[in-house]
Amino acid sequence: MQIPADRPAEDLAFEVAEANWESLLFFLACDTQWRVVLGMAGLLWIGLDYTACDVIARRMQVPDEAFVDLKVMEGAALTELNDRD
């Protein structure tokens, strides 16, 4: 998904429930842990490197339940990242 450069910042803002804040920070901290391959059709986002994400989780001291949230956000992100339209 490409975000147009001329889109107002207000359109990009969203609220995060307090109960989800720690999981969101964990997901964002894993942003350099994506597994990606280059094929004939371009980049294919495979998913997060869970081993590396586990190290991040331990360093951030996030609860085990945050991994469930991470997988949900990963699935949603993969849908957008691999959208070829």
Q: What is the pLDDT of residue 39?
A: 87
Please report the pLDDT score of residue 1 as a whole number.
46
54 CB-near residues (< 8 Å, 6+ apart): 67
Check residue 23 and give its pLDDT. 96
Q: Mapping DSSP to helix (H, G, I), strand (E, B) and coil, where does residue 44 land? A: strand
Tokens coding 34:
């994506």
CA angle 49, 28, 68 (to 5 degrees): 60
Tell me the Ramachandran region of residue 3: left when phi exceeds 0, alpha when psi lies from -120 to 50, beta otherwise.
Answer: beta
Per-residue pLDDT of the chain (85 residues; tens, 9 = 90+): 455 566 666 666 788 999 999 999 999 999 999 999 998 888 999 999 999 999 999 999 999 999 999 999 999 999 999 997 6
Cα separation values, 85 from 1, 17, 35, 70, Å: 8, 31, 21, 25
